[in-house]
Structure 1
Amino acid sequence: MTFAAPTPVDEIVPRGKEYTKEKPMESQGSPIYRPNEEMKLQPLPLMKDVLATEHEGLLILKLRQCSVVFDGDSSGTHGKGEDAKEATLFELVRYVTKGGEIAEPAYPEIAKMAPKGALGREILVGVSEKVVNAMPPSQISCNLLRSLPPPENPIFDPEEDDPALEASWPHMQLLDRFDSEDPRERFYLKSVLYSIYRRFVGLRSFIRKHITHVILRHIYETERFNGMAELLEIIACIINGFASPLTEDQKQLLLKVLIPLHKVRYLSTCHPQLQHCVFQFLEKDDSLTEMVVVGLLRYWPKTSSRKEILFLNEVQEILVGISPHEFQKIQNPLFRQIARCVSSAHFQVAESAICLWHRDRITNLIKGSYHVIIPIVFPALYGISKEHLSPPIVDLVEDVLQTFMERQPLLCDELATSFRAERQ
């Protein structure tokens, strides 16, 4: 059997017989309508069981079947019809997922999959035109085919009815939907939002502005935002497209949004993505390094050892890529904080701070600044070597002190003498 592409009609005519039209319904003063009690869905062959040339016509017939709306009565004829419709919907999902072709004649049928317009006017016989026009439009049409200006509801009474919002609005709050607890939803939202950003150049500034608003609201108002990691992944893609030199507005994204984001309580849920965004800015303009480090020191955690370890790891990666010129600007305040971390009662914080000296790149940077850095960190390191209770930490500290003694023996002897004198 060959399924030719049907012409646009208002009803599905099953093989061998036509739908019987009973007495038209009478309007009950409600936009809810009831389908024909005798309406049935004609069984159709599966897409995989027909020739490829017949797919177009069969697809349109199945789409029209999926447009049939039942009244929720699962008994009798309607129950069988609902089962047939459900099976057809799942088959169409599998067909599209596996790369099945959707020809252009099927597009109107997809857009009309809704109570109004797709089922045929015979279903609405007896319902007043006023009520028919007040029926909700297709969900697909609401999101893709938006009429300008939006259609008005002819039966809306401002004194009795609640204000009616545009039907597409709940579906278009993409940024708010990023707070969803379902990671699958957030993944698709990320893809959709970045596709919009990439294709609609005129909307890019608007999208960036509203993303920053969401992040700032999370920083200063809300305790938690589920989709912060996904939003930062989008920002990373946006930063990657920034041209050098960076504009002042682009720098403000780093200094006023990304750096303050380090102070949120649940930093661990989005820190890898946040760190990647910061590093992308530094790769494009290394003169921002001083402001980034100063910002990190401003928001350095005081009571959360877990966050402190995240900060130390980020600082370590910044020092690996920093230039000697920029290092000279931040060495004093940075190593004062590192000295405090070395003296931390939390062994993991102390270990992370001490391990900075075991990176070759950082060791090479420090070589030219021993006369500045050793006086800052020596008291903390020397005190740990004498008093700390963790043998692994003591071993790491002694390795660092041995390096200092080899490089600056006189300075280290002087500092050790001064330390012992203060403790007596």
Structure 2
Amino acid sequence: MISVAIMGHGVVGSGVAEILTTHKQKLFASIGEEIYVKHILDLREFPDSPLADRFTKDFNDILNDREVRVVVEVMGGLNPAYDFVKKCLKSGKSVVTSNKELVAAHGAELLQIAKDENVNFLFEASVGGGIPIIRPISQCLVANIVDEIAGILNGTTNFILTKMIEDGMQFDAALKLAQDLGFAERNPAADIEGHDACRKICILASLAFGKHVYPNFVHTEGITEITLEDVKYAEAYNCVIKLIGRVKRLDDGKIDIIVAPMFVPNKSQLANIDYEFNGIMVRGDCTGDVVFYGKGAGKLPTASAVVADVVDCCKHLKTRKFLFWADGNGDNILPYEESVTAMYIRANTTFELAQEVFGCIDKIEKADSPEGEIAFVTAQLPYGEIIEKIAALESRGAKVISKIRIGDL
């Protein structure tokens, strides 16, 4: 029998406890031993839970219990999760987490501690919820040199954009619907401002390219400025708007990483991933494009990924799985101003003036465009140069209403 502890009994934590207790035979068949939930840490009372006798409010009950070999962290946030996880690893316990904020902020340090203590720190559920992505990159695609990872990494924003695209809803109405349906938090900032997607692409970039990428290194934009008019111009250009997290390996060894809304061509495999679903494309030099698709959140999908890591830890109690990246200081990241992109621009100006400033541009024709408004797509240019040209356009009397990157996905 292998004893485990769960820290946190919220949506995911209760799902983990449920799977570990209701799927005992399936899990026993996988590892040849019973997985026993010995402690559940939470400050709240759960008298009606079938595991009511396992609850504790004292972290030390877990830390000092030598029988507990694997600890599940599903508390979320950094405090006290970071301190608790660090202490568990240093005490020789393997840790499984779904906490993307923790991994994005402290992944390199915690992986180093796990290596030093010959234990495991696994986090499959931190990026795609129930979508397998960490293990496929670290194991199934290990023979590939990863050239690029791009994806729809946040189900809340994808739901909002889908309602704008398919039902013609304005942003605020689509956000309220997402909140009413439980897809968005009461405070949706982490989702709609891009921070959640940023943490996830940081984890994927760190894994794929071997050096920790901290969120503050990554230029991040959300979807709060996207309007229904932009959605319609995208449709006229045979595209849809998606919030994309993307990282590309450059010829000089640096990486180009960003989180931003993008025009995604209808022919792209990511274009038809709608509502609360996520999709992650990994481009390897041997496999080409491989796409992982599914629900990126939810109680049981996320809990199933956590339990898979628990099983992995139970199979490797005396050995450490090789999952590791070094610390990073941002010196391998291309400054976002140098990132080359084409840009959709909507402005109150004339096509002739826009062409004079930007050179070769592609006009987007839309039947119901307001008088005096144009939309066009620039040639591929460094982002900093595009910003300079926008400033030059505005200095000549134009008003730029919106700008969105064109994703060559």
TM-score, with length taken from structure 2: 0.21
> Which structure has the larger Rg over C-alpha atoms?
1
- Structure with the bigger RCO (C-alpha within 8 Å, sep 6+) is 2
TM-score, with length taken from structure 1: 0.21
**Structure with greater strand percent:** 2
